[in-house]
Amino acid sequence: MNALDRKLFRDLWHMRGQVVAIAAVIMGGVATMVMSLSTYDSLVGTRDRFYGEYRLADVFAGLKRAPEPVAERLAALPGVERLETRVRAGVKLEVAGFSDPITGLILSLPDVGEAQLNRLYFKRGRTVQPWSTDEVVVSDTFADAHHLQPGDTLAAIIHGKRKTLTIVGVAVSPEYVYQIAPGAMFPDFKRYGVLWMARNALGIAYDMKGAFNQVSLTLARDANEQDVIDRVDAILADYGGTGSYGRKDQFSNRFLSEELKQLRTMATIFPAIFLGVAAFLLNVVLSRLIALQREQIAILKAFGYSYAAIGTHYVKMVLLMALLGVAAGVALGTWFGQGLSHVYSETTFRFPYLDYRLQPGTVLIALAVSALAAVSGTLVSVMRAVRLPPAEGMRPEMPARYRTSLAERLGLQRWLAAPSRMILRHIGRRPLKSLLTVLGIACACGLMMVGNYQKGAIDFMVDVQFRQASREDLALAFIDPTSGRALHELAALPGVDFVEGYRDVPAILRFGQYRHRAALFGIQPEGRLHRSLDSRLKPVAVPSGGVVLTDYLANDILHVKPGDMLTVEVLEGSRPVRQVPVLGITQQYLGVSAYMQKDSVNALMREGNTVTGAYLAVEPGTEPELYARLHDRPRVLGMVANKTAIQSFYATIGEFILFYNLVATVLAGAIGFGVVYNSARIALSERGRELASLRVLGFTRGEIAYILLGELALLTLAAIPVGFLVGVGLVGILVVAFQSELYRLPLILTPENYAMGASVVIVSALLSGLLLWRRLGRLDLVAVLKTRE
């Protein structure tokens, strides 16, 4: 090791506090990036492997009922590789000791041979025996939520008849990675379950013997998906087909894709912000640190070291700091990433296994960005120092030029004692440096606000959704379209305060080349329970004769505006195709919807007063009895209770958000502390001699601390409002980047967000102040008399 390298390690050891603080800044940026990207890569990799190994179908089709021989005609269609038919039954479930309504779905498993498509991964137990009549496999989410094990029993009401079933296995299906009840906003594993039963037994129970009502198929190698879909639909049209769809529109996959898209956005935006801010801070901090080495650089030059050798020396020094930060960031990010992946796969998505992977590219990007930021900040300062002739560099620096500060020129000087003047003039002498310090601290404040923003935003979204728009206590769906008279029967049930009917039809909405598959929702025009909201979140009546679209659906998916004519292809009954005018835009944060008046949907369908479901306001305390009565009504199928939906939402999504918040808070805190401490520490290096001189002159430690920490305090206070602006800006970027079909985050910052942002800065400043206070006690008063700077 040569002398310069030895100096390198000594210097690093000597300023270890600062090295740690700088490494903390880099670590914060890198850890965010590694965590987000590795989680995304892991989930995508796991999804692809699971879909491949367990053969998720490419195209799905639902229909009313077709005799089994139709399957041969479908399988013979060009472009179809493998095809399987199933019976799919919507059911109500009963689990002993749980009185809330549970809805479920039972799918058939073949009695002859193994399932070819959408195969199950068994976590426990086994598959059903062929030709068995009462064996059932349950999805792992439902089993876990109710602590069900193979050997336990549960009851299902299939087609109005109660049947006791014995659980033989617990499984995960690629088709139901994301399990959510139709019509629900969030997954609720306790109140919605997917089950599998032997084909023959389910056929008998569901009145589908020798018939099927669901088709899945995979495509031949170079088949065109849309061609196959059209051919399948042509055949199924005679059997009440409700339109086939590709994986893109498959419920679980669509949600999974949207969530992964969100995660990818998060994996891009968050690290870009964190790493960008970290890089900026690194640059600022290091350029100041190197500027302090001016004299040493002059001495090295006087010894005859070349510019390149000196430059390399300092580049090595900062690269070592960067490397330390990157290494810590990768380690921490990997740890967080594994945690986050597990939170994801245990709360939101169900995968049978998780392939955690950290791609080398991720680490390389982190390394490259950190190194670039560090080296560029260093080189500017080294160049400046190297340009000086050695003799000049070693001579004491001329006293820095100061001028009276603005406050004093305004005539305030008589209020300011000398220490206060020193603070103001020091800030004013290098306004750019002071500005960069303020910006650095402000960035830490802004990051903290970003990290904490989501929780407040989600609270707001949920509040708007459930207290303004969907105010019903209970939403229920009928098995088939039903006469509106059914509502009177519901209204007469004990505990029901109010009933509103709705009519929804599955449809494809088209405008030009844009299409979207969604339900057309017919609601009461001036409903008290289910309402559409305008841009100011005030309820507005849905006008007659046309459709009102969620803003995101109108603007970003279909690209329509009020006045345009939308083509509606109904996927039910005689499958009419109609032109419907767009009459308005409604504000909605969760999901996307197309609303019409219920009567308008009835007119569109050329039917009388028909409903497919109802919204109920329920008297508190009467729920158990009401649930029991509704459970006994064969025509009532699905029930979603709003309160439980919100609770389950917080139980699932909440865990993920809390985890992410915690991580973001820790990292933003690390960055914040790194910046503030370094700013303060460098200020001490720059002014240590001045302060020691004052100590010699009889100033107390408190008095010189006022000069040093007063400046820090002033800059910190100035940084807080700037930090609020930075935070709002960063959150704005996040809001735009996060728009998706699943949800749009509102630009809502709560007082807590601001408080968190300000407190990370203040706590960092206090902590740094404390550390500096200790250092001020160790100022070498004797040395200052003998040495120049």
Nearer to other proteins (CB atom), residue 647 or residue 693 = 693
Q: How far is the CB of 691 from other proteins (least distance, A)?
A: 9
Applying CB under 8 A, does 399 fall inside the site for other proteins?
Answer: yes
For residue 699, state whether it binds other proteins (rule: CB under 8 A): yes
Residue among 188 and 686 whose Cβ is closer to other proteins: 686
Contacts of 638 (CB under 8 A, 6+ apart): 90, 103, 181, 182, 183, 475, 476, 477, 613
Residue 696 as a binder of other proteins (CB under 8 A): the answer is: yes
* C-alpha 723, offset from chain centre: 23
Angle (CA) 182-186-192 rounded to 5° is 55
Residue 97 or 777: the one with the smaller Cβ distance to other proteins is 777
- Name, in order, each residue with C-beta under 8 angstroms of 392's C-beta and a sequence gap of 6 or more: 298
Task: Mark residues 218-237: x for contact with other proteins by CB under 8 A, - for none.
Answer: --------------------
Residue 443, token pair as written in the block: 């960035």
Place of tokens 């910190």: 716
Place of tokens 């690093």: 12
Shortest reach from residue 399's CB to other proteins, in Å: 4
The least CB distance from residue 731 to other proteins, in Å, is 39
Three-state secondary structure string covering 128-180: CCCCCCCEEEEEHHHHHHHCCCCCCEEEEEECCEEEEEEEEEEEECHHHCCCC
Q: With both helix axes pointing from N to C terminus, report the angle between 431-463 and 418-429 in degrees, rounded to the nearest 10.
A: 90
Interface pick for other proteins out of 647, 693, 739, 759 (rule CB under 8 A):
693
Token pair recorded at residue 378 = 């260093």
- What binding mask, one character per residue, do residues 545-574 give for other proteins by CB under 8 A, x or -? ------------------------------
Q: CB atoms < 10 A from the CB of 365, how many?
A: 17
Question: Whose Cβ is closer to other proteins: residue 149's or residue 404's?
Answer: 404
- Would you state the structure tokens that stand for residue 649, as one six-digit string? 């939402």
Structure tokens at 77: 């269609």
> Closest distance between other proteins and the C-beta of residue 422, in Å?
5
- Tokens representing 46? 């796991």
Stretch that binds other proteins, among 206-214, 394-402, 491-499, 552-560 (CB under 8 A): 394-402
Instruction: Order across the sheet with 244-246: list the strands.
Output: 80-86, 211-219, 59-67, 244-246
Q: Are 544 and 503 in contact (CB under 8 A)?
A: no
Q: How many CA atoms lie within 13 A of 615 on its CB side?
A: 23
Contact call for residue 786 and other proteins (CB under 8 A): yes
Closest distance between other proteins and the C-beta of residue 287, in Å? 21
Task: Give dist(CA 529, CA 474) in Å, integer.
Answer: 10
Say how far residue 81 (Cα) sits from the centre of its chain: 37
492 is a site residue for other proteins (CB under 8 A): no
Closer CB to other proteins, 403 or 561, in the complex: 403
Nearer to other proteins, 7 or 425 (CB): 425
Q: Is 396 in the site for other proteins (CB under 8 A)?
A: yes
Q: Point out which span in 44-52, 223-231, 490-498, 776-784 binds other proteins (CB under 8 A).
A: 776-784
Does 400 sit near other proteins (CB under 8 A)?
yes
| 689, 717, 747, 773: residue in contact with other proteins (rule CB under 8 A) | 689
Kindly give, in sequence order, each residue whose CB lies less than 8 Å from that of residue 754, ignoring residues fewer than 6 positions away: 449, 724, 727
- Is there binding between residue 403 and other proteins (CB under 8 A)? yes
Which helix H or strand E contains 505, and what residues bound it? strand 496-511
The H or E element spanning position 197 is strand 192-198
- Of 1, 308, 410, 697, the one binding other proteins by CB under 8 A: 697
**Stated length of the chain:** 789
Q: Which is nearer to other proteins, 639 or 707 (CB)?
A: 707
For the bound state, the minimum distance from the C-beta of residue 381 to other proteins, rounded and expressed in Å, comes to 21
In the complex with other proteins, which residue's Cβ is closer, 182 or 428?
Answer: 428
Q: Residue 315, Cβ neighbours under 10 Å: how many?
A: 16
| Residue closer to other proteins (CB basis): 1 or 697 | 697
Total Cβ atoms within 10 A of residue 38: 25
| Inter-residue contact 284 to 683 (CB < 8 Å) | no
Q: By C-beta, is 364 or 781 nearer to other proteins?
A: 781
**Which stretch in 501-509, 522-530, 662-670, 698-706 sits in contact with other proteins by CB under 8 A?**
698-706
Which range binds other proteins by CB under 8 A, 261-269, 611-619, 651-659, 695-703?
A: 695-703
Which CB sits closer to other proteins, 419 or 506? 419
Residue count at the site for other proteins (CB under 8 A)?
Answer: 34
* Pick 331 or 714: Cβ nearer other proteins: 714
Q: Specify whether the CB–CB gap between 242 and 234 falls below 8 A.
A: no
Contact track, other proteins, 407-436, x by CB under 8 A? ----------xxx-xx--xx--x-------
129 token code pair? 């025996």
Residue 788 binds to other proteins (criterion: CB under 8 A): yes
* Integer Cα distance of 193 and 659 in angstroms: 26
**Beta carbon of residue 396, minimum distance to other proteins (angstroms, whole number):** 7
**548 CB neighbour count, 10 Å cutoff:** 24
Minimum distance, C-beta of residue 688 to other proteins, in the bound complex (Å): 12
Measured between alpha carbons, how far is 487 from 634 in angstroms, rounded to an integer?
15
Q: Rank residues 234 and 417 by Cβ distance to other proteins and give the closer one.
A: 417
Cβ-based nearer residue to other proteins, 364 or 783: 783
Residues 6+ apart with CB under 8 A from 614: 475, 476, 486, 487, 490, 499, 500, 501, 502
Is residue 700 a contact residue for other proteins (CB under 8 A)? yes
Cα–Cα distances in Å, from 399 out to 291, 394, 620, 642, 789?
A: 16, 14, 78, 71, 11
Which of these segments, 104-112, 501-509, 639-647, 699-707, binds other proteins (CB under 8 A)? Answer: 699-707
Out of 151, 621, 698, 751, name the contact with other proteins by CB under 8 A: 698
**364 counts as binding other proteins under rule CB under 8 A:** no
**Contacting other proteins (CB under 8 A), which of 506, 584, 690, 713?**
690
Task: Identify the residue among 147, 221, 401, 536 touching other proteins (CB under 8 A).
Answer: 401
* Under rule CB under 8 A, residue 131 binds other proteins: no
d(CA 607, CA 83): 35
A 10 A CB-CB count for 773 gives 14
Is residue 398 close enough to count as binding other proteins by CB under 8 A? yes
- Applying CB under 8 A, does 781 fall inside the site for other proteins? yes
Per CB under 8 A, residues contacting other proteins are 396, 398-403, 417-419, 421-422, 425-426, 429, 689-690, 693-701, 703, 781-782, 784-788
